[in-house]
Amino acid sequence: VSAQAALRLAQVDLSEDARLAAAKLELAQANRILANEGILDALGHVSVRDPTNPNRFLISRQLSAALVTPKDIVAVDLNGDAVSPEVQNQSLFWERFIHAALYQKRPDLVAVLHSHTPSILPFSVSSTPFRPVVHNAAILGEELRVWDMRKKFGDTTLLVTNMAVAQDLADCVGSDTGCLMRGHGVVIAARSVKELVWYAMAMDLNAKTLTTAQALGGTTTYLSKGEIAAFAKAQQGVTSALERQWNYWLSRADLAGFNE
Ligand SMILES: [Zn+2]
């Protein structure tokens, strides 16, 4: 089934197979968008809760985002284990537990991203807080806090390779949009894949703007609490701007291999 055909099918046919195929397609598209826009590089990953089973999530097998196609997407349970007997845990991402712990802790979440986006990394090791300065980034909330694995787990590789560490990270996220990971990257989560990609792009733009503004010297003007609240309120139920952005990012992405 071609990508476009799968989408059309999902719109009229609500069978489990059709919904699963549509979710895999959208997640593969998100991988290509995030790679193309510089959010994901060789490493990092994005997932979506399985629309046919809330106790599972869909994620690519161990593969760089720029190379992911819908057929590379596999199901993983909320302990981080592969669901299908044909898929070995060794072929999954080491840090898949990040996703498992967040879906376990937050039933409201539908999509999760873990990335090492270069623009955000300085804020994970600096005392300068990551707070919104550009309007779009208001959607991220008042501040993304920094999770430091060393506080609880001592000297490690900084990688999140088991559920105990992942649950500690999920505790840091709490009810927020995400959390910076000291010396490592970021995790952000949303209520849909499209929303998540938007958050990631807003995060990147905000990080670049904030870094550049601070390099200019002088004082930095952050969005106020009231502005952040006003933006969140204005976004409720509005999908047209999100669709417009998604279609733009998708038009720029390389979808080679999708119809093979
Ligand atoms: Zn990582």
How sure is the predictor about 9, in pLDDT bands with cuts at 50, 70 and 90? low
CA of 236 to the centre of ligand 1 (A): 31
Contact (CB, 8 A) for 139 and 105: no
Rounded average pLDDT over 74-80: 97
Determine the 3-state secondary structure of 75 from DSSP. Answer: strand
- The predicted structure's pLDDT at residue 2: 66
CA of 220 to the centre of ligand 1 (A): 30
- The predicted structure's pLDDT at residue 209: 98
Choose between 202 and 238: higher pLDDT. Answer: 202
- 132-162 pLDDT per residue, tens: 999 999 999 999 999 999 999 999 999 999 9
Rounded average pLDDT over 220-236: 92
- Give the amino acid at 28: A
Of 20-29, 198-207, 235-244, the least confident: 235-244
Contact (CB, 8 A) for 241 and 194: no
Helix (H) or strand (E) segment spanning residue 124 = helix 121-125
Choose between 198 and 237: higher pLDDT. Answer: 198
**Residues 21-26: contacts with CB under 8 Å, at least 24 apart:** 21/70, 22/51, 23/48, 23/50, 23/51, 23/58, 24/58, 24/70, 24/71, 24/73, 25/70, 25/258, 26/193, 26/194
Among candidate residues 40, 7, 19, 9, the one with its CA nearest the CA of residue 185 = 40
Instruction: Please give the Cα distance from 73 to 71 (Å, whole number).
Output: 6
Give the catalytic positions in this structure. Answer: 95
Contact (CB, 8 A) for 112 and 46: yes
Token pair, residue 104, equals 């376990």
- The predicted structure's pLDDT at residue 235: 80
Residue 15: pLDDT over 80:
yes
CA of 115 to the centre of ligand 1 (A): 6
Rounded average pLDDT over 110-122: 98
Instruction: Please give the Cα distance from 148 to 172 (Å, whole number).
Output: 9
CA of 43 to the centre of ligand 1 (A): 7
How sure is the predictor about 232, in pLDDT bands with cuts at 50, 70 and 90? confident
Q: How many CB atoms are closer than 10 A to CB 245?
A: 17
Percent of the chain with pLDDT over 70: 95
- 25-52 pLDDT per residue, tens: 999 999 999 999 999 999 999 999 999 9
- The predicted structure's pLDDT at residue 190: 97
CA of 179 to the centre of ligand 1 (A): 13
Rounded average pLDDT over 60-72: 97
How sure is the predictor about 4, in pLDDT bands with cuts at 50, 70 and 90? low
Instruction: Please give the Cα distance from 76 to 198 (Å, whole number).
Output: 24
CA of 211 to the centre of ligand 1 (A): 22
Contact (CB, 8 A) for 111 and 192: yes
CA of 156 to the centre of ligand 1 (A): 13
- The predicted structure's pLDDT at residue 260: 78
Among candidate residues 87, 94, 16, 89, the one with its CA nearest the CA of residue 53 = 16
